[in-house]
Amino acid sequence: MVNRAESPIGLRVTLSRRYVRSTDVARDLTDPRALDGYVVTASARSALERLVDGLDAGSTQRAFRITGPYGSGKSSFALLLCRLLTAVDERANEIAKASGLAKGTAFAPHAVIFMSGRRTSFSGDLLAAVREQARMLGMDDIAAGAAKAGTDEDPGLRARSAIDLLDRLSRDTISADGRRTLLLVDEMGRYVEHAAANPRSEDPSVFQQLAERAGGRGGAPLAVIGVLHHRLAEYVAAMGGVIEAEWTRSADRYEEIAFGDSLEQTLHLVAGALEADPSHTRPVRDAARRLFEEAFQHGTLGGDPADVAAIAADLYPLHPAALATLTVAARRLGQNERSIFGFLQTLEPSGFQRFVQKM
């Protein structure tokens, strides 16, 4: 029997706002608070370091794919990156600084064209995105060219036009205002799936052509980042034949930035998500630290004990055994961080919210 406490934990420990909804880059780009509570995980830090060099004007390889399992934080990272590249964004710069990068502004300013993958023609959507961006920048010729190319019946021609127009757009942008161009495609896998299933209406080599243009010999001031689930390669492999060969060739042109899902990363995310107000008392902090130290001694948790001891109090009231179990279950049966935050938010009978309201 659990006694209802007079002052339940739920009154003092709440979940930070950002975890209450999942990341939609297009929507969150204009929300100044969307990065509140963002935690720079080990994956995010190494991805930022890699991209500071990779997006540099001197780099000859500027096509990347960010891959990682469902819910591992890829879109949230894409949002941070967009904010770092496009605007003078205090919050994004603070986050980059805290991550150990000398300065958020180590990135050259970029005009970002963002696309969110759908099961439709990539070339068609790319032409629409180029047209929109050209219109915004007052480049009417390019906008008109993109509108015309969009009506082209031949998928090979449409793909080539899309990439040529993107190339022109990037050159005109740098001449007009000094910004380089980044094409960022979240859920790029959906476009690849569509191309794989519809070889007559989409030229599957479009992904390869795009990667070759970014950082290629032509010198367009262009970079491309695709965000994908790593399961995609397996999906395309099942299509066999030409598609499989095409995608393997294309995939090789994109340098991989892997988003991991270590236990330590999850603990940091959960610690960042739980907010204590007022802060925990000394006895609670000491007890939490002791519990996590014991968990390391018993082998319940792996990783760096000192690192986890530093955030032990922020994990209260979660027991180390609960966290270890939760992480494995979310990985094996669910969608990683998304399932963990689902558990933290839910009011279901065995969910975290129900627990903290009772205790």
Ligand X SMILES: Nc1ncnc2c1ncn2[C@@H]1O[C@H](COP(=O)(O)OP(=O)(O)OP(=O)(O)O)[C@@H](O)[C@H]1O
Number of residues that bind ligand X (CB under 6 A): 22
The pairing of strands 13-15 and 274-276 is: antiparallel
Count CB neighbours of 203 within 10 A.
23
Question: Under the rule (CB under 5 A), what is the footprint of Mg ion?
Answer: 75
User: Residue 28 interacts with ligand X (CB under 6 A)?
Assistant: no
- Whole-angstrom distance, CA of residue 68 vs CA of residue 258: 6
For 300-358, the three-class secondary structure string (H helix, E strand, C coil) is CCCCCHHHHHHHCHHHCCCCHHHHHHHHHHHHHHCCHHHHHHHHHHCCCCCCHHHHHHH
Which of 117/124 has CB closer to Mg ion?
Answer: 117
The site map against ligand X for 223-262 (x = CB under 6 A) is ------x---------------------------------
Strand partners, 223: 182
User: Residue 44 interacts with ligand X (CB under 6 A)?
Assistant: yes
Q: Binds 39, which of ligand X, Mg ion, none (CB < 5 to 8 A, cut-off by type)?
A: ligand X
Least gap, CB of 14 to ligand X (angstroms): 15
Q: Which of 8, 14, 22, 275 binds ligand X (CB under 6 A)?
A: 22
| Count, residues in the chain | 359
User: The tokens of 177 are what?
Assistant: 């205002």
Q: Binds 44, which of Mg ion, ligand X, none (CB < 5 to 8 A, cut-off by type)?
A: ligand X
Site for ligand X in 293-352 (CB under 6 A): 337-338, 341
Which of 40/301 has CB closer to ligand X?
Answer: 40
Q: Binds 99, which of ligand X, Mg ion, none (CB < 5 to 8 A, cut-off by type)?
A: none
> At 120, which amino acid appears?
T
User: Residue 115 interacts with ligand X (CB under 6 A)?
Assistant: no
What is the number of the residue whose Cβ is closest to Mg ion? 75
- Whole-angstrom distance, CA of residue 269 vs CA of residue 58: 34
User: Residue 74 interacts with ligand X (CB under 6 A)?
Assistant: yes
What is the number of the residue whose Cβ is closest to ligand X? 73
User: The tokens of 269 are what?
Assistant: 């995310």
Q: Which of 75, 99, 161, 205 binds ligand X (CB under 6 A)?
A: 75
Which of 19/207 has CB closer to ligand X?
Answer: 19
Q: Are 227 and 185 in contact (CB under 8 A)?
A: yes
Least gap, CB of 179 to ligand X (angstroms): 26
Q: Are 244 and 235 in contact (CB under 8 A)?
A: no
- Whole-angstrom distance, CA of residue 11 vs CA of residue 265: 27
User: Residue 41 interacts with ligand X (CB under 6 A)?
Assistant: yes
Q: Which of 9, 15, 48, 76 binds ligand X (CB under 6 A)?
A: 76
User: Residue 269 interacts with ligand X (CB under 6 A)?
Assistant: yes
User: Residue 160 interacts with ligand X (CB under 6 A)?
Assistant: no
Q: Which of 9, 13, 15, 18 binds ligand X (CB under 6 A)?
A: 18
Q: Binds 41, which of ligand X, Mg ion, none (CB < 5 to 8 A, cut-off by type)?
A: ligand X
Q: Please report, for residues 85, 106, 182, 287, the alpha-carbon distance to residue 56 in angstroms, rounded to integers and kept in the order given.
A: 12, 9, 11, 47
Closest CA to 48 of 87, 109, 100: 100
Least gap, CB of 256 to ligand X (angstroms): 15
Nearest-10 Cα torsion for 106, 208, 188, 117: 110
Q: What SS3 state is found at 57?
A: coil
Chain residues that interact with ligand X, rule: CB under 6 A: 18-19, 22-23, 37-39, 41, 44, 68, 70-76, 229, 269, 337-338, 341
